[in-house]
Every structure is written in structure tokens, then in C-alpha cells.
Amino acid sequence: MIDFDKLSIYKENNRLEAKKADGGLPKSIWVTYSTFANTDGGVILLGVEEKDNKTLNAIGLANPEKLQTEFWNTIHNFK
């Protein structure tokens, strides 16, 4: 499990991806989701940016519940 109090010690890798998502769900989330679904899985952190030194930094989200609902509605839409 990720310790959010120590977020800066983590780096993106093949099982961890950070997405700022400050403007809504980024289109690139679906590539990441598909990649994780077709491998050993992974964690997508929304409201987290990767800094120039490759460390992660929480930036927060204005409406995380809306993003969560949008994400789940999209992956459960089979059309």
C-alpha cells in the first residue's frame, strides 16, 4: 500500500502512474488503465504530479468524487 505521508519517496514505474488530473480525467489514463489491465496491474494516482526530479507530489483535486464517478462510469460502459 502507498503511504501518502511519504509520497515523495515513490517514483513512477511499470506499476505506478501519477496523473495531475487537475482539468478532469486525462485521455492518457485509458492507455495506462489498459496497460495495467493487460499486465500485472498497477496503481493510478490522480491529483499527483511527477516533478522534474522524478519524485511525486500531491496537488489535490477540486472534485475527486466527480472524477471517480466518471472513471467508473466509463469503464463500465460497454458501448
pLDDT for position 29 = 95
Query: Residues with Cβ < 8 Å from 54, sequence gap 6 or more?
Result: 11, 12
* pLDDT average, residue stretch 29-52: 95
CA distance 64 to 35: 23
pTM for the complete prediction?
0.88
* pLDDT average, residue stretch 40-58: 95
pLDDT for position 1 = 82
pLDDT at 9 over 90: yes
Q: Would you list the domain boundaries of the chain?
A: 4-75
CA distance 18 to 32: 10
* pLDDT average, residue stretch 3-10: 93
